[in-house]
Amino acid sequence: MKNYVAINSAIVAPEDAKISIYDLAIQRGYGIFDYFKTIDGEAVWLEDHLDRFYASAAAMHLPVHLERTALKQLISELMHKNKLPDSGLKMTLTGGYAEDGYTIDQPTLIITQHRFDTGAAVAAFENPLHLVRFEHQRQLAHIKTIDYLQAIRLQPFIKEQGAQDVLYFHAGEILECPRANFFIVTDNDEVLTPARHVLHGVTRKKLLENKELKVTESVITPGQLANAREAFITSTTKMVLPVVQIDGRRVGNGRPGEVTRNMRRWLLAAQGIA
């Protein structure tokens, strides 16, 4: 990576973007993060991402040494330094250096920025996704922790199954993808997304907030999934992507549906892309 990075309150050159091996992220996998994008130099839904960032930190007992205004200032400085109008920014907060390898003292804040190709993300809609299900419920699913043990471990399995990503389910409930929320259009034309045991994504939240889109939080059963007319996922980077195959079986007629297209249209407009 060739971009400047913020570590705690300092902006450092790429070659200096290192932290102590005694940090609790490395010793104990302990940390949270959030991720937002910029389009034409403007952060998209930054306040929502900051809300969640501070909430995740509090839930994991991680004090943030920067208040919101100071954090936004640091983000601005980093953006000014990197000069990437369309970008992804990741704010990670780890457990920090721990002499005993176990006790939180002063968390480490890391902000990275990378180029984000908005055009390519928009075009990705034309390559609908194949998913494969896997029984798993993320621990502390409502908190955006850095824990992706299962997701990365499952990469060879996903490839073997000819899929692009995994869809977690547990105890009779369809849940989420590792980095995206999941939605179906039922055979009654309801748009459902799981209410519980999932991360509450910002894109998901925006779809739920718009009453005209008529998205409802609900348990999704395997039976409902089998009979779904459409399925799609949402995330900051993926926006709205159609899912046309799950476990090798077609969803609906196997093509992106009208509801999915409508959601996507609304989202692109809301982000000023379309």
By the criterion CB under 8 A, which residues form the site for a second copy?
1, 5, 7, 17-31, 59-61, 90, 92, 94-95, 99, 101-104, 110, 112, 136, 139-140, 145-153, 155-156
**For residues 66 and 146, which CB has a smaller minimum distance to a second copy in the complex?**
146
Instruction: Report the nearest approach of a second copy to the CB of residue 216 (Å).
Output: 29
Task: Report the residue number, 156 or 223, with the smaller CB distance to a second copy.
Answer: 156
CA neighbor of 236 nearest in space, from 267, 266, 262, 269? 267
* 40 token code pair: 């034409």
Q: What's the token pair of residue 246? A: 């799950």
CB of 66 to a second copy, least distance (A): 17
Beta strands in 129-238 (DSSP E): 129-135, 165-170, 173-177, 180-185, 191-193, 215-217, 230-235
Q: How far is the CB of 104 from a second copy (least distance, A)?
A: 7
Q: At closest approach, how far in Å is the CB of 26 from a second copy?
A: 4
Closer Cβ to a second copy, 136 or 205, answer by number: 136
Q: Which is nearer to a second copy, 159 or 265 (CB)?
A: 159
Q: Of all helices (H) and strands (E), which one includes residue 52?
A: helix 46-59
Residues 78 and 89: their CA atoms lie apart, in Å, by: 10
168 near 134, Cβ under 8 Å?
yes
Please list, in sequence order, all residues whose beta carbon lies within 8 angstroms of the beta carbon of residue 205, skipping any fewer than 6 positions away: 48
Question: Closest approach of Cβ 169 to a second copy, in Å?
Answer: 15
Provide CB contacts within 8 A for 198, sequence distance 6+: 141, 142, 175, 176, 181, 182
CA–CA separation, 36 vs 143, rounded Å?
16
Of the two residues 61 and 68, which places its CB atom closer to a second copy in the complex? 61
Give 95 or 201: the residue with its C-beta nearer to a second copy. Answer: 95
- Min dist CB 19 to a second copy, Å, is 6
Helix (H) / strand (E) containing 205 = helix 202-209
Between 91 and 184, CB nearer to a second copy: 91
C-beta of 58: minimal distance to a second copy in Å?
11
